[in-house]
Structure 1
Amino acid sequence: MSLLSSLHDKIVVKNVDQEGNIRPVEPLDNDSIRPTRLKDRTWTQLTYISFWFSATANVSNLYAASTGLTVGLSMWEAVACSFAGQFLAGCLMALNGRGGALYRIPFPVLCRASFGPWGALWPTFNRAVMSIVWNGVNAVQGAQCIYVFLHAIFPSIENIPDKMGPKSALDSAGMMCFLVYWIINCAFLIVPVPKMKSLVYIKVFVYYGAVIAMTGWTVSLAGGTTEALRHGSTIHGSEKSWMICKFLFIGLGSCATFISNAADMQRYARRPNDVIWGQLFSFPVSALAVAVFGNVIASASVSIFGELIWNPLDFLDMLMAGERYTSGNRTACAFIALALAYSTVFSAIFENSIPAGNDIAALLPKYITIKRGFFICAILSYAINPWYLLSSASVFINFLSSYQIFLSAITGILICDYYALRRGRLNIPDLYTADPKGEYHYYHGFGIRAFAAYVLAIVPNFYGFLNQMGVGAGIGVLRFYFVAYPVGISVAFLVYYGFARVWRVRGVVGGRGWREPKEYLDEFDNARYGGDNNGDVEGVQVDVVGKGIANL
């Protein structure tokens, strides 16, 4: 019994107060999901401009916009749709992440304001599962990058006997590369998030350096001819209008995870407004640049191979096939593949590991910190065997892509709660308590209004979602599903607001005016005690309304 007690003491999360003393462990609270403390608010405006510029810097986005060409859009129409959709996504990130930027709280804690302390476990669990699965999917892509890199150095790797079988997206050599990628990914998870900003800067330089080099190289190999770029659209009339609508909102819906993850990333901001330019400017501009480079590379493949190669990793490997396996080609492919592998590692960390770490920690804060959540995510993303999921389950892939309807409902509720109802005011201490007297306790800890709005926001899009899973549907259903994401947000926003007006939400008071404090410090932040005897720190004062600290 003493051994079990000792083991329990070791795994229980140790929380500390502002003076460094151990404080009691609460069922909804640990230090890693509390508002980020002042010493860890290290991400500047430059960091966020670089971060969101690097957010789209991955392999899949390099050819994502090019898919519009397969349905008859011109290259520039497809790129414009991608840019417009991701500009809208940047606006939604700015809105949905504001609570994280100001109060420095992650997504699962922000959900408690509308869903309740126990009800928030549902959207938190949903997003955690999605982050874990996508982490595994990205790991497969990272393994493919590693394979191209090793193939450039060791040609015999392609002769390794395959023991994985036809149901796997990776052969035996690919599985070896998957293990290498996974170990590298886990090694970088040791770095504290506030200190990752230098890795953000490196990613921007490495990725765009590699992509620009690949673009110049492939265009040179093509003899400077990129004929596919000059082709106009092959569809017209209403069919073309619907395709433009589809790809515009695909550009928006593809960023559903970024939109929901915004608070997790913005909680490390030095100042709340440091995050804005990165979302509104660098994110869509980066998406535009990546789409253009991807289309140019794909277009060059037509002149080089006589066929269109969408996947840049397949392109690189084909550049080393047969007589092309020269020292020059191998060197170029090795450096480009290594740069893409590095970019994939950090795309997975920022898009999947950090959100999953926040979610898993919020699901069981007594025993799990965000860093422990990182490694739980890494282990589970390996355990789900993503190489089999990607190869054999097309319905599963459609499900992942269509999950936007569930995330859009949650996003609409959070935006409505923060802006339309509370007007920027959150009672932070009450977000971390299960006390029935707490402001966000609602009905036994569940926000019934939020759950009702969540369900009703999914209903209009659910038939289209089933169609993605293989259920037959008419052309009207198909086209309505093109706008699934904005419909989900709008319905959730309006329904939740309507319910809140009829059945008043606790803590929402009348009157007008914006009620955000200018700055916030956690009640357990020892910076609070770094000033004079009144506890003020260079103009930072107690925010009586929010029971926190505000720079008034």
Structure 2
Amino acid sequence: MGYDLAWLHDRLVVKGVDHDGHPSPVDMLDNYSIRPTPKKDRTWTQLTYFVFWWSATANVSNLYSASTGMAMGLTMWEAIACSLGGQLLAGCLMALNGRAGAMYHIPFPVLCRSSWGPWGALWPTFNRAAMSIVWNGVNSVQGTQCLYVFLHAIFPSIANIPNKMGSKSALTSAQMICFFIFWLINCLFLIVPVPKMKSLIYIKVVVYFAATFAMLGWTFSLAGGTAKYLNTPSTVHGTEKSYLIIKFLFLGLATYGTFISNAADLQRYARKPNDVLIGQIISFPVANLLIAVLGNLIAASSKAIFGELIWNPVVFLDRLMEGERYTPRNRAACAFISLAFVYSSIFSNIFENSISAGNDISALMARYITVKRGFFICAVLSYAVCPWYLLSTAEIFVTFLSSYQIFLSAIAGILICDYYLIRRGFLDIPALYTAHSGSLYRYFYGFNPRAFATYLLAVAPNFHGFLNQMGVQAPLGIQRLYYFAYPMGLCIAFGLYYLFCLASAPVGMKRDASWNEPGAEDHLDEDNVAREGGIAIEGIAIEDIAIIEKEAMVASKRV
């Protein structure tokens, strides 16, 4: 038995290599998956990021995220304006929070160690990993619905499978079969290395927009033009409407809370730090604007065709094959459109959720889990959370989107404050991978009390509103206050963390106004970084890490 356990442990432990190709040990804070991205893998250019955000936004959920505003009573143009406003804010925050990833090529879990401490960073990492897993499941449900439409167009008998799932499920029994098939296909694509996915990004953009414009043209023709429904009046008025606009404006921001927090995961592959800016500040909101317009136009046309608003475009497609509409022509159109949506859903899962979840899960147990193993753990857990119960109605979907924002907003506020005001752009990379007693980021036994106190105080004002989202009764004022949850949590966390650091300055805090990011010639290009009990950097032993850190701090003042 002892031999078997030793063999299993040896198989599970992550194997690493140094620059000379020799085996190197790993520990709970470091493996090769979460080290700075090697120079050979920094291949994402301005064009890559520009196209990436068109690709990342090209998913089914974005088609009906904005149209849920129509389902709740806003006009089409009001819903689009709210969506755009929130996404402009999100794009700017992603650029701010991802700067450290683009500059130092480190993932989100490692960046968190600067402000939370090496062990304290496990908490925000766990938070973000949980949301990525849930979103992976939600996108899988959407991809499943697309796959079902594709199979329904080919095999009409699939619609005759008895449904045992109940009214609270977004998926029928037949669609649950499709969910398993979609899940297997998604797992197969996870084998492809992330740096080699650039071509898949480009293909996804073409496929998705071709299918979406085809669906728009088809539904327009069925609706008999646009004049009947482009100016459909709002069904809410006065104060209620004002608060609904605020709700969807900041919901457009909160929807991308995971992107804002994990921006470093995506920017770590940048060839140059500034290559990410145009994509995030321009490409991201413009792409979302176009998709919001397309999604709302498609949803609005459903009123003219069916006499009711169908906010989910996949359900819309399936309805176009009901009864007498189940014709060869309609079936072919639905099959091609839904197949394109299946493809886009697979890579939305990978780019938006699997990459971030893989980084997070790997950092939670770096000795045993690589990023690729994290991909598959995410896939398994996304099945286990039963995401098909989150998309049955527009109201449930909106509740889900807004329920987790208070936790991610506090994390983002702390990270932005730490990088720009506390560290002034300087990070000691070797120190981020160790809990050594001389480490710059050790704080209190590996935990930063300032970050945890800030987190609790930033979450507290919106916690009652969060409980209301979960079903606990709350006064109308609390409900409306929760509409501001994301910007409120972000600003409170940013301000409080700075005040706590002023009151009790952490080691390495920059008190002057100088900016301390390294120049391009000073970038750390090593795959392997110093860590407790680990390997050497450029021939310098780990025992000298205190000297390394001291010299790095002195050097940063001269930058």
Q: Give the TM-score taking structure 2 as reference length.
A: 0.91
Alpha-carbon contact 2:229-2:304 (below 8 Å) kept: no
The alpha carbon displacement at 1:40 in A equals 0.8
* Structure 2 unaligned spans of 5+: 530-537, 540-547
CA displacement, residues 94-133 of structure 1 (integer Å, 9 cap, x when unaligned): 0111111111111111111011000111111121122112
The answer for the alignment partner of 1:451 in structure 2 is 452
The answer for the alignment partner of 1:311 in structure 2 is 312
Number of residue pairs the alignment of both structures matches:
537
Alpha-carbon contact 1:395-1:470 (below 8 Å) kept: no
The answer for the alignment partner of 1:342 in structure 2 is 343
The answer for the alignment partner of 1:530 in structure 2 is none
**Distance 1:400-1:39 versus aligned 2 partners, 3 A rule:** same
Identity across matched positions, percent: 66
1:521 to 524, 529, 542: 524
Q: CA RMSD in A?
A: 2.4
The answer for the alignment partner of 1:545 in structure 2 is 552
The answer for the alignment partner of 2:144 in structure 1 is 143
The alpha carbon displacement at 1:165 in A equals 4.9
Q: Distance in 1 between matches of 2:103 and 2:263?
A: 12
Alpha-carbon contact 2:36-2:526 (below 8 Å) kept: no
CA displacement, residues 318-360 of structure 1 (integer Å, 9 cap, x when unaligned): 1111111111111110010011111111111122111110111
**Distance 1:35-1:546 versus aligned 2 partners, 3 A rule:** farther
Moved more, 493-502 or 374-383: 374-383
Letter in 2 for 1:75: M
Q: Distance in 1 between matches of 2:240 and 2:7?
A: 67
CA displacement, residues 337-387 of structure 1 (integer Å, 9 cap, x when unaligned): 011111111111122111110111001111110001001111122233333
Letter in 2 for 1:83: L
Q: Distance in 1 between matches of 2:91 and 2:166?
A: 42
The answer for the alignment partner of 1:529 in structure 2 is none
CA displacement, residues 286-305 of structure 1 (integer Å, 9 cap, x when unaligned): 11101111111112112212
Correspondences of 1:86-485 after superposition (within 5 Å): 86-165=87-166, 168-387=169-388, 398=399, 401-485=402-486
The alpha carbon displacement at 1:67 in A equals 2.5
**Distance 1:402-1:473 versus aligned 2 partners, 3 A rule:** same
The answer for the alignment partner of 1:40 in structure 2 is 41
Q: Distance in 1 between matches of 2:126 and 2:109?
A: 9
Alpha-carbon contact 2:126-2:360 (below 8 Å) kept: yes
After TM superposition, the runs of 4+ consecutive aligned structure 1 residues lying more than 6 A away are 394-397, 546-549
The alpha carbon displacement at 1:521 in A equals 2.5
Q: Distance in 1 between matches of 2:167 and 2:236?
A: 37
**Distance 1:319-1:548 versus aligned 2 partners, 3 A rule:** farther
Alpha-carbon contact 2:35-2:528 (below 8 Å) kept: no
The answer for the alignment partner of 1:61 in structure 2 is 62
Q: Distance in 1 between matches of 2:42 and 2:495?
A: 34
Letter in 1 for 2:125: T
The alpha carbon displacement at 1:2 in A equals 3.1
The answer for the alignment partner of 1:511 in structure 2 is 512
Letter in 2 for 1:449: R
Alpha-carbon contact 1:107-1:263 (below 8 Å) kept: yes
The alpha carbon displacement at 1:216 in A equals 0.7
Correspondences of 1:5-20 after superposition (within 5 Å): 5-20=6-21
Moved more, 314-323 or 443-452: 314-323
Q: Does 1:489 align with 2:528?
A: no
Q: Distance in 2 between matches of 1:38 and 1:273?
A: 16
Letter in 2 for 1:545: A
* Structure 1 unaligned spans of 5+: 527-532, 535-541
The alpha carbon displacement at 1:52 in A equals 1.1
Q: Distance in 2 between matches of 1:177 and 1:548?
A: 57
Q: Distance in 2 between matches of 1:351 and 1:286?
A: 15
Q: Distance in 2 between matches of 1:321 and 1:71?
A: 26
Moved more, 43-52 or 130-139: 130-139
Q: Distance in 2 between matches of 1:187 and 1:399?
A: 28
